[in-house]
Chains A and B, each alone.
Chain A
Amino acid sequence: MKPLTRIYVLMASLALIIIYFQPLWYIALEAPQYPDGIEMYIWVNKITGQEESTLQNINILNHYIGMQKIEPDAIPELKIFPYIIGLLIALGLVVWKINKPRWMYVFGFTVLILCALGIFDFWLWEYDYGHNLDPNAAIKVEGMVYQPPLLGSKWLLNFKAVSFPHIGGMALAFSTFLLLWAMVHQKWAKTSY
């Protein structure tokens, strides 16, 4: 590997460590009678709110439209993802250590693919929460689905739902772009460093 490529690989691997300490994603619900907002944080291994009771409060609101309860214990990804991230970090460090370009590409594509799959999986959960509604719900609005946006904001009845990556998610994005750049650099850069 070119020396710079190697540094990119190391940085990309280490950046993934941030995911253990910061949320990946942030979804907020805004409505006038919630002056402090309702903020939900999606971590690699848990889902939290800005307060201990936020999830309970979201579930109370959601039950009127028949949405399933958000129960972190029932989401298997939250148990598996910490290991996958761990493996990725380990793989990155090994690639950095053995210094073989071919393994660098393997690492780069693995992160890219897993990142894409992760986002798709997140979207699937959102789809499920938004569409799979209790037919006996108290509030039924014809044609209305409640899938929160992946990125950006959307009106869901009286709530404006806002969704953005948090620091952990940005670290993952940073890592992914760094690896993309590392692959480009390794293959096409005319320099030897």
Chain B
Amino acid sequence: MKTILYSIAAVVMMAVVAGCGNDNGKKGAITSSGAADEVYVAPGEHDEFYEFFSGGFSGQVSVVGLPSGRLFRRIPVFSVDAEKGWGFDEETKPMLNTTHGFIPWDDAHHPKLSQTNGEIDGKWLFINGNNTPRIAKIDLTTFETAEIIEIPNSAGNHSSPYLTMNTEYVVAGTRFSVPIPQKDVSIKTYKENFQGMISFISVAPEDGDMELAFQILMPGYDYDLASSGKGPSHGWTFFTTYNTEKGATMKEATASQNDKDFIAAINWKKAEEYIKEGKFEEWTSPYCNNEMDESTHMAKSTVKNKVKVLNVTNCPGLVYFLPTPKSPHGVDVDPTGKYIVGCGKLSADLTVHSFDKMMEAIKNKDYETTVDGVPVLKYESVVTGVVKSGGLGPLHTEFDGDGNAYTSFFISSEVVKWKIGTWEVVDRIPSYYSIGHLSIPGGGSMKPWRKYLVSMNKITKDRYLPTGPELAHSAQLYDITGDKMRLLLDFPTDGEPHYAQGCAAELIKPNSKKFFKLEENKHPYAVKSEAEARVERKGNEVHVYMSSIRSHFAPDNIEGIRVGDKVYWHVTNLEQDWDTPHGFAMMGAQNSETLIMPGVTKTLLWEPKVPGVFPFYCTDFCSALHQEMQGYVRVSPSGSNTELKWWLGED
């Protein structure tokens, strides 16, 4: 009896202890005041790193400082942003143009910073749009989207942009194979009719201009993620695949049948040779290339038609498949460029392929078989290590440059640190909860900054004060300078960050523009001084050449507008000082406001529907007399003879 009582007592004690343990575990057991000090950036001081988070389904990019986790700016990219007029004003509408017409949204996944010699150079940020395949380029002097290129013959642009080590190319792949070119076929003919496409988009070194260099027609798998080689593996880009089963329905089961899918190793230098030799087919495949002109501040959307397509079945040496277990998700090349880490997302283990072994196997024609015209290298010939992680559901791997790798585990909700070469696990730490991507500043380059690691988590639940059913996605900041990882900070993020990439602030901060020079403004409707402000009528189109400066618009009274007119407000901000934007909003306009940076002209369309006198005003608290920064416009009935007049400061 006594024994039983003792046993019960012991069980109860254990439960209590375990309960305490759980509770600590849940909070992350950080926290001494030391952790707070480590993420504290004193008022007026700056963070050490910029970190660019993708917005996922927000379609945008957010700029965050590390270690503080503070949000600095949300850059509109693929989605309209009424706050900034992005996609609403006449200047930015063409940025969101596609061959499907104007699209107000996309799903932005993987921000990648441009590199030179394998190191982040702080010039541009590239990010993919997954839904209607596109790649955007953000200029890091202005933090504005400067170019968007649509990817034709594609669907589900997920394995993108994963640029090469000198930003020669950004890449794009089809996570959703489709009939290429598109045609009306039964979905049940997937195996015959569906294919994948891998695209290489060249980036001009001087101005970052993107051009669709060539495409490679691939078997109809799902091309999930990518990583470009560096150092010895420069010239190759690796793509994970799943659904080598080629299922089209109930993919969660059908695409999970094969024990191994592939990492596709693509020799893009070989592709360049084939292109030079003329071994491509020229296809007519329309796509849009939208560019923001720096001098006019106006975007132009151009439809391009021709693409060069290489067919993998008749380009030997272009693509090899590396068998990789369990529907691999992330593929990451380590900073030395020697190892290719594949994360079989349905497995416990990581598979590490050796680039040297791969080259050897190619030389020896060590093929297991050939599928869809592509040699499959023998698994044993390419694999160099398997990390027995003890976790479940590995997704992505980042590196610290000191021989350590860090892999995120979605199912077991943790970050696992392991050693390159010995493949042994040396540390692990929980994430809250179910981490997707992870990021070390300088990730994907040959020179990561070993200081912080950010986890981007898919599930938030109780981490913050609740906000109803919809919660902000959560990120955690870990210190990785020591042998043991330490959790420092939780912070909510914008949208659903998939990946984030960062770099030392010093690479970007000194180049950040303060304002645009008015004298360099070549917008056709710009005014350079109040003296040029005027209103012009062309039929039912009215163009208001308006200026804004603290604290008035010129003109601020306008008469002679008629119902049925299309009124274009071309507002030039005459200010030439840092942080002096003006806004413009028109009552009743079925449109957004627009925010106008100093030296820039923005155009907002207003189509008045009823007669009367309506106000407009400045929406950005600009000055002590911001509240007075307003004006009136008189709208007369259609066909009336009210004289077109405008003024400022007259009674």
Contact with A along B570-598 (1 / 0, CB 8 A): 00000111000000000000000000000
- Indicate whether A56 reaches chain B with its CB closer than 8 angstroms: yes
Across-interface contacts of B577 in A (CB, < 8 A): 53, 56-57, 60
> Cβ of A60: which chain B residues have Cβ within 8 Å of it?
549-550, 575, 577
A20 to chain B, nearest CB (A): 27
Give chain B nearest CB distance to A38 CB in angstroms: 9
Assuming A60-B549, A60-B550, is B624 touching A53 (CB within 8 A)?
no
Residue B4 lies at the interface, judged by CB distance under 8 Å to chain A: no
Q: Mark B542-572, 1 if CB is under 8 A from A, else 0.
A: 0000000111000000000000000000000
Say yes or no for A125: interface residue by CB 8 A criterion. Answer: no
**Contact, CB under 8 Å: B625 / A64:** yes
A52 touches B624 (CB 8 A): no
Q: Which of B549, B575, B624 contacts A64 (CB 8 A)?
A: B624
Query: Is A52 in contact with B625, judged by CB distance below 8 angstroms?
Result: no
Cα–Cα, bound, A52→B518 (Å): 11
CA distance A171 to B575 in the complex (A): 36
In the bound complex, residues from chain A placing their C-beta under 8 Å from that of B628 are: 138
A144 within 8 A of B: no
A98 interfacial by beta-carbon distance below 8 Å? no
Residues of A within 8 A of B625 (CB): 64, 138
Query: B628: nearest residue on chain A (CB-CB)?
Result: A138
Q: Is A139 an interface residue (CB 8 A)?
A: yes
Counting chain B CB atoms within 10 Å of each CB, which of A53, A138, A139 scores highest?
A53
- Bound state CA distance, A53 and B549, in angstroms? 13
Q: Which residue of B lies closest to A56 (CB)?
A: B576
Counting chain B CB atoms within 10 Å of each CB, the highest count among A56, A60, A139 belongs to A60
CA distance A64 to B628 in the complex (A): 12
Per the 8 Å Cβ criterion, residues 112-146 of A in contact with B are 138-139
* A65, B274: Cα distance in complex, Å: 71
- Distance of A60 Cα from B574 Cα, bound (Å): 11
User: In the complex, A57 Cα to B550 Cα: how many Å?
Assistant: 10
Min C-beta distance of B581 to chain A, whole Å: 14
Q: Would you give the shortest CB distance from A87 to chain B, in whole angstroms?
A: 36
Main SS at interface, chain B: loop
Which residues of the partner chain B approach A57 to less than 8 Å between Cβ atoms?
576-577
Residues of A with C-beta under 8 A to B551: 138
Chain B residue nearest to A60 (CB atoms) is: B550
The docked-state distance in angstroms from the alpha carbon of A139 to that of B551 is: 13
Task: Please provide the chain B residues from 385 to 401 with a CB less than 8 Å away from any CB of chain A in the complex.
Answer: none
Chain B residues with CB under 8 Å of A64's CB are 623-625
Tell me how far the C-beta of A188 lies from the nearest C-beta in chain B, rounded to whole angstroms.
Answer: 55
Bound complex: CA A102 to CA B625 (Å)? 62
Write out, one digit per residue, whether chain B residues 344-388 have a CB within 8 A of any chain A CB (1) or not (0).
000000000000000000000000000000000000000000000
Inter-chain CA distance A103–B163, complex, in Å, is 78
Q: Please tell me if the beta carbons of B624 and A139 are within 8 angstroms of each other in the complex.
A: yes
Quote the shortest CB–CB distance from A35 to chain B (angstroms).
Answer: 9
- What is the CB-to-nearest-CB distance from B444 to chain A, in angstroms, rounded to a whole number? 35
**Residue with the highest number of chain A CB atoms closer than 10 Å, among B550, B576, B628:** B576
When chains A and B are docked, how far (Å) is the Cα of A60 from the Cα of B577? 11
- In angstroms, Cα B628 to Cα A57, docked, is 19
Q: Residues 58-91 of chain A: 1 if any B CB is under 8 Å from the residue's CB, otherwise 0?
A: 0010001000000000000000000000000000
Please, which residue of chain A has its CB at the minimum distance from the CB of B625? Answer: A138
List chain A residues, Cβ under 8 A from B576.
52-53, 56-57
Of all chain A residues, which has the CB nearest B515?
Answer: A53
**Distance in angstroms between the alpha carbons of A138 and B577 in the assembled complex:** 21
Residue in A closest to B517 when the chains form the complex, CB atoms: A52
Select from chain A the residue with minimum beta-carbon distance to B578: A36
Q: How far is the CA of A70 from the CA of B119 in the complex (A)?
A: 49
Nearest-CB residue, chain A, relative to B598:
A53
Residue interface mask B396-408, A partner, CB < 8 A = 1: 0000000000000
A49: min CB distance to chain B, Å: 11
Closest-CB distance, A80 to chain B (whole angstroms): 28
- Chain B residues lying within 8 Å of A56, measured Cβ to Cβ, are 576-577
Q: In the complex, what residues of B have CB within 8 A of residue A138's CB?
A: 551, 624-625, 628
- CB neighbours (8 Å) of A52 from chain B are 576
A154 and B233 CA atoms in complex are apart in Å by 65
Q: Which chain A residue shows the least CB distance to B576? A: A53
Report A33-63 residues with CB < 8 Å from chain B CB. Answer: 52-53, 56-57, 60
State the CA gap A64–B577 with chains docked (Å). 17
* Nearest B-chain residue to A53, judged by Cβ: B576
Chain A 134-163 interface 0/1 with B at a Cβ cutoff of 8 Å (1 = within): 000011000000000000000000000000
Residues of A near B549 (CB, < 8 A) are 60
How far, in whole Å, are A94 and B549 apart by their CA atoms in the complex? 53
User: What separation, in Å, do the CA atoms of A138 and B625 have in the docked complex?
Assistant: 8
Closest to A55 in B: B576
Quick one: closest B residue to A61, CB to CB? B550
B624-644 CB mask vs A (1 if < 8 Å, else 0) is 110010000000000000000
- In the assembled complex, the CB of B421 is this many whole angstroms from the nearest CB of chain A, namely 49
Most A CB within 10 A of own CB, among B551, B575, B577, B624: B577
Give the residue name and chain of the A residue nearest to B519 (CB): A52
- Tell me how far the C-beta of A110 lies from the nearest C-beta in chain B, rounded to whole angstroms: 42
- Shortest CB-to-CB span from B582 to chain A, Å, is 12
Question: What residues on B are CB-neighbors of A139 within 8 Å?
Answer: 624
**Across-interface contacts of B550 in A (CB, < 8 A):** 60
Interface residues of B in 511-559 (CB under 8 A from A): 549-551
- Give the distance in Å from the alpha carbon of A53 to the alpha carbon of B598 in the complex: 11
Q: How far is the CA of A60 from the CA of B625 in the complex (A)?
A: 12
- Complex Cα gap A144–B549 (Å): 26
A56–B549 Cα distance when bound, in Å, is 11
Min CB distance A137 to B, Å, is 11
Across the interface, name the chain A residue whose C-beta is closest to B649: A136
What CA separation (Å) do A52 and B550 show in the bound complex? 18
B599 vs chain A, min Cβ distance (A): 9
Q: A53 to chain B: which residues have CB within 8 Å?
A: 576-577
In angstroms, Cα B516 to Cα A52, docked, is: 12
CA distance A57 to B575 in the complex (A): 8
Interface residues of B in 415-463 (CB under 8 A from A): none
Could you give, for residues 100-130 of chain B, a 1 whenever the CB lies within 8 Å of some chain A CB and a 0 otherwise? 0000000000000000000000000000000
Proximity bits, B218-262, A CB within 8 Å = 1, else 0: 000000000000000000000000000000000000000000000
- What separation, in Å, do the CA atoms of A49 and B549 have in the docked complex? 19
CB distance from A28 to the nearest CB of B (A): 16
Q: Output the least CB separation between B531 and chain A (Å).
A: 14
Complex Cα–Cα for A183 and B434 (A): 88
> What is the CB-to-nearest-CB distance from B572 to chain A, in angstroms, rounded to a whole number?
14
Q: How far is the CA of A114 from the CA of B539 in the complex (A)?
A: 64
Q: B618 to chain A: closest CB distance in Å?
A: 14
Which residue of A has the minimal Cβ distance to B44? Answer: A35
In the bound complex, residues from chain A placing their C-beta under 8 Å from that of B575 are 60
Cα A134 to Cα B526 in complex, Å, equals 30
A190 CB to nearest chain B CB (Å): 61
Taken together as a complex, chains A and B put the C-alpha atoms of A53 and B517 apart, in Å, by 9
B479 to chain A, nearest CB (A): 31
Q: How far is the CA of A139 from the CA of B575 in the complex (A)?
A: 20
Find the A residue at minimum CB distance from B574.
A56
What are 12 A-B contacts with C-beta separation under 8 Å? A53-B577, A57-B576, A60-B550, A60-B575, A60-B577, A64-B623, A64-B624, A64-B625, A138-B551, A138-B624, A138-B628, A139-B624
* Known contacts A53-B576, A53-B577, A60-B549; 4 further A-B pairs (Cβ under 8 A): A60-B577, A138-B624, A138-B625, A138-B628
**Partner-A contacts on B (CB < 8 A):** 549-551, 575-577, 623-625, 628
- Give 8 nearest A-B pairs by CB, closest first: A53-B576, A57-B577, A60-B550, A138-B625, A56-B576, A53-B577, A64-B624, A60-B549
